Structures are given as structure tokens and as C-alpha cells.
């Protein structure tokens, strides 16, 4: 249920958009690197901005566009190269979908980014709100958006109760978005909603005194800014235990390309073991070494790396093995496996927890150990 403001719905629709458009022209963001660019650049930025804040995206966007300056360049690239450029940004399905979509655009739309919102929405990884933003910013459409920032603004301004991730609340917000979408100034209005949520109506410390909607905001009126939007219902995430091999040889670490689908699909990671407990993992480690022509070695059990996913918490236990001798002839020709120099391993396309683990391991091995 929504708590009504003092304005009628008709008055809200008449004044909401003009208020935001005026504010955006004076106080909004006008110098983001993807603003005023072509559809390809806007699309890349919109995909990166899913689940990631602007300040984090800016650096990744610049490096990504330098490496893949055109849609054709992205479509022609190898998936490993795309994943490497995305490494550290997280939510890697976005990168795989971006790459797939680039190739679809080449095939289905003769290399031209589609202008129709339905065509944009049909691309892998592009949802309703993202398609609307691209169509509005690049092709003159006037389509409402409803990303996380907009949901937060709507929930607070209109006092919309309930978690926005539920179907009923989201439908209510879409109805609100359609009603408020102006017939003109669509670019400035859409950018204003994004800017307001990102810079003023923030999740933790909203700057209500700077908000152009403060006089009509239900959450501010009732002192309930922290209650809107309602948080995701509490749910205990199950834990998953995994064991992996950290095999080191002559300053290199052995990495394995993961399958394209599933967790960390397409990224390089540590070889994982099919084991449910430490005893089985140590047995599996010896079997793995033998199957790959490596002599058995003493296994050092390292501290687990804990990483949270949306639906579960991963506890990854590395088993460290040092192989004496040259790494070059070992495992030659085994395509999924790759020896990576430890001193630049963090530059590879790695999942964030594995990157952190290898960075710490590299730092530890460089630190002189005290004499006994």
C-alpha cells in the first residue's frame, strides 16, 4: 500500500517531471564518460551499472572501451579477452551476455545497434528498464525506467510499502513510472531520476535538504527515510564448502579455465576438487596430481576464503602444493590449464575472491620470514 501525499495523483504527474528536469539541469551529472555518446557506449555503461556504482564503473568503462572501442571489435573478440577486461567488476554473467549480444547485433541487425525498445530488450542481459534507458538516451524514446535508484526514490517519495523485489510492489512502481513519464524532456528526466537516487536520495545517508522533491516526500514527512524501501526479507544463506588446488611452481600458479556456464563461467580460477570434506580433498589432490603427471607433494591446508553470493555463502579452502622444478614442461597441451606468473596473476580474468587470495599469497611469499 502507498501512503498518499497531499497532492492529487493528477497534480503529482503534472509537477513531478518538470521539478526533476529543472533540478537536473542545475545540479545533475553532465560529465559522465558515456553521456552524449553513441548507443554502443551507452549500452556498455548501462550493463556495467547493473549492480555496480558509478564511481567503480568509470575506470572499468574507460579501460573496456579502450580495448573494445566499437561494437564490431567487441563481437570479434575472444570471450577470454572480454572476461579479462571485466575481471574484478563482478557479476560476470553481464560480461558474457554483453559479448553474446554484440555478436547477435552483428548477425540480426547487420552490425547496427537496434533502435526499437523491443529489439533492445531482446538482447541477452538487457531487461526492461535497461532497454528503456538506452532507447530514451539514444533514440528519442520516452520510456519509463525502474532501476534500483528509481525504486528507492519512488518508495520514499510516495511512501510505497513492501520490498521492491516482490511482483506486486514492482508492478505498483511500474504503474507509477508510466504515469509520471513526461511527453518531452525524456533524457533530462530519466537522467534526473538516476542522478537523484545516486547522489541525493542515497541508501545510507540521504541528503533530504538538497532534494527537489523534499516537500512532497512521504518518508521525509514521516521521518521514515531508513524504512523505505523495505529491505529484502531476511533469509539465512546456506553455506557451500569447496576445495581447490593452489599449485605453485617456479613463481607460477596453475589456473584452470572454468566452463562458460555456472558460477564464474569463463573465468580462470584454481582447479577445484570433487570432495565433501578435508580428508577426501587431500585424497583427491593426490589423485589429481597423479592424473596430470605431477609427483605427489606435501599439502598445506590454507585458511578458507569466504565469499557471499546472492543465494549462498561460499567457503573455498585452498590446498597449497609447491612443485619443485620448471613449470614449463608440466601439463603441456592441456588446454583448460594455464601457468600464470604469480607476480601478475591478479591481472588475469579471475573471480574476486581468487584474486584476493593470490594477491595475499604473493605478498606473503615476498615477505622475509624471521629466523627461528
Q: Is the pLDDT of residue 161 over 90?
A: yes
Which sequence spans correspond to the domains of the chain?
A: 9-227, 239-366
Going by pLDDT thresholds of 50, 70 and 90, the confidence category of residue 329 is: low
pTM tops 0.85, yes or no = no
pLDDT above 90: percentage of residues in the chain: 69
| Opening angle at CA 337, ends 335 and 340, nearest 5 | 125
Q: Catalytic residue positions?
A: 46
**9-227, what's its fold?**
Endonuclease III; domain 1 (1.10.340)
Question: If you count DSSP H runs as helices and E runs as strands, how many of each does the chain have, helices first?
Answer: 14, 8
pLDDT computed for residue 9 by the predictor: 44
- In 10 A of CB 53, how many CB atoms? 9
Taking all residues of the chain, what is their mean pLDDT, rounded to a whole number? 90
Give the model confidence (pLDDT) of 294-320 as tens digits.
Answer: 777 778 999 999 998 888 999 999 999
Question: What mean pLDDT is predicted for residues 234-257?
Answer: 90
Do 100 and 76 touch, CB atoms closer than 8 A?
no
| Opening angle at CA 128, ends 122 and 130, nearest 5 | 95
Going by pLDDT thresholds of 50, 70 and 90, the confidence category of residue 10 is: very low
**239-366, what's its fold?**
Nucleoside Triphosphate Pyrophosphohydrolase (3.90.79)
pLDDT computed for residue 127 by the predictor: 94
Does the fold of domain 239-366 match that of domain 9-227?
Answer: no
pLDDT above 70: percentage of residues in the chain: 92
pLDDT computed for residue 368 by the predictor: 65
Question: What mean pLDDT is predicted for residues 75-92?
Answer: 92
Amino acid at each position: 500500500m502507498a501512503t498518499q501525499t497531499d497532492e492529487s495523483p493528477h497534480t503529482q504527474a503534472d509537477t513531478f517531471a518538470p521539478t526533476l528536469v529543472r533540478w537536473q539541469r542545475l545540479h545533475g551529472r553532465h560529465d559522465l564518460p558515456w553521456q552524449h555518446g553513441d548507443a554502443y557506449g551507452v549500452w556498455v555503461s548501462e550493463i556495467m551499472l547493473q549492480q555496480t556504482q558509478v564511481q567503480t564503473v568509470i575506470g572499468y568503462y574507460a579501460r573496456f572501451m579502450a580495448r573494445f572501442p566499437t561494437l564490431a571489435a567487441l563481437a570479434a573478440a575472444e570471450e577470454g579477452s572480454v572476461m579479462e577486461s571485466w575481471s574484478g567488476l563482478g557479476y560476470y554473467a553481464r560480461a558474457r551476455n554483453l559479448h553474446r549480444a554484440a555478436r547477435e547485433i552483428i548477425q540480426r541487425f547487420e552490425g547496427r545497434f537496434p533502435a526499437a525498445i523491443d529489439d533492445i530488450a531482446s538482447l541477452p542481459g538487457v531487461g526492461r528498464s535497461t532497454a528503456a534507458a538506452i532507447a530514451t538516451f539514444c533514440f528519442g524514446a520516452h520510456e519509463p525506467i525502474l532501476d534500483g535508484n528509481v525504486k528507492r526514490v519512488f518508495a520514499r517519495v510516495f511512501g510505497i510499502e513492501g520490498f521492491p523485489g516482490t511482483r506486486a510492489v514492482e508492478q505498483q512502481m511500474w504503474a507509477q513510472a508510466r504515469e509520471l513519464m513526461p511527453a518531452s524532456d525524456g533524457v533530462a528526466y530519466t537522467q534526473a531520476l538516476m542522478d537523484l537516487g545516486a547522489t541525493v536520495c542515497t541508501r545510507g545517508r540521504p541528503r533530504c535538504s538538497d532534494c527537489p522533491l523534499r516537500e512532497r516526500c512521504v518518508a521525509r514527512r514521516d521521518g521514515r527515510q531508513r524504512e523505505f524501501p523495505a529491505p529484502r526479507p531476511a533469509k539465512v544463506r546456506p553455506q557451500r564448502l569447496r576445495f581447490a588446488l593452489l599449485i605453485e611452481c617456479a613463481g607460477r600458479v596453475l589456473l584452470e579455465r572454468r566452463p562458460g556456464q555456472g558460477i564464474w563461467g569463463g573465468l580462470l580460477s584454481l582447479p577445484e576438487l570433487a570432495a565433501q570434506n578435508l580428508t577426501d580433498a587431500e585424497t583427491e589432490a593426490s589423485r589429481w596430481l597423479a592424473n596430470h603427471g605431477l609427483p605427489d607433494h606435501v599439502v598445506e591446508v590454507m585458511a578458507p576464503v569466504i565469499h557471499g553470493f546472492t543465494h549462498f555463502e561460499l567457503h573455498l579452502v585452498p590446498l597449497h602444493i609447491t612443485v619443485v622444478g620448471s613449470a614449463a614442461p608440466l601439463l603441456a597441451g592441456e588446454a583448460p590449464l594455464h601457468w600464470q606468473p604469480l607476480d601478475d596473476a591478479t591481472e588475469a580474468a579471475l573471480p574476486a575472491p581468487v584474486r584476493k587470495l593470490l594477491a595475499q599469497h604473493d605478498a606473503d611469499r615476498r615477505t622475509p620470514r624471521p629466523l627461528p
